[in-house]
Amino acid sequence: MAGVERPGPVQVHMVAAGKYHDIDFARLELLKLLAEEPRIRATVAMDYANLDRLAECALLVTYTCDVMPTEAEATAIRSWLEAGGRWLALHGTNAILRFLEDGRVDAPDARPDVMALLGTQFVAHPPIGPFRVHVRAPAHPLVAGEQDFDVVDELYLSRTTAPIEVILDARFTGEAPGFVEASWQDAEVPILYLRRHGAGGVLYFTLGHCRGHYDVAVFTPFWPHPERCAWNYPVYPRLLRRCIRWGLGELEV
Is position 3 within any domain? Answer: no
DSSP type of residue 179? B
Is position 4 within any domain? Answer: no
pTM for this prediction: 0.97
Cα gap 243→86, rounded to integer Å: 10
Is position 55 within any domain? Answer: yes
Range of the domain at 127: 10-247
Is position 252 within any domain? Answer: no
* Structure confidence by residue, pLDDT tens digits, 47-80: 999 999 999 999 999 999 999 999 999 999 999 9
Radius of gyration of the chain (CA): 18
Q: For each of the chain's 253 residues, which pLDDT tens digit applies?
A: 455 556 789 999 999 999 999 999 999 999 999 999 999 999 999 999 999 999 999 999 999 999 999 999 999 999 999 999 999 999 999 999 999 999 999 999 999 999 999 999 999 999 999 999 999 999 999 999 999 999 999 999 999 999 999 999 999 999 999 999 999 999 999 999 999 999 999 999 999 999 999 999 988 999 999 999 999 999 999 999 999 999 999 998 8
Cα gap 241→56, rounded to integer Å: 22
Domain count across the chain: 1
Cα gap 38→248, rounded to integer Å: 12
Is position 72 within any domain? Answer: yes
Whether residue 63 contacts residue 23, with contact meaning beta carbons closer than 8 Å, is answered with yes
Q: What is the CATH number of the domain that holds 212?
A: 3.40.50.880
Whether residue 73 contacts residue 51, with contact meaning beta carbons closer than 8 Å, is answered with yes
Cα gap 163→153, rounded to integer Å: 25
> How many helices and strands in the chain, by DSSP H and E?
5, 13
**Which amino acid does the sequence have at 109?**
D
Whether residue 143 contacts residue 192, with contact meaning beta carbons closer than 8 Å, is answered with yes
Helix (H) or strand (E) holding 29: helix 23-35
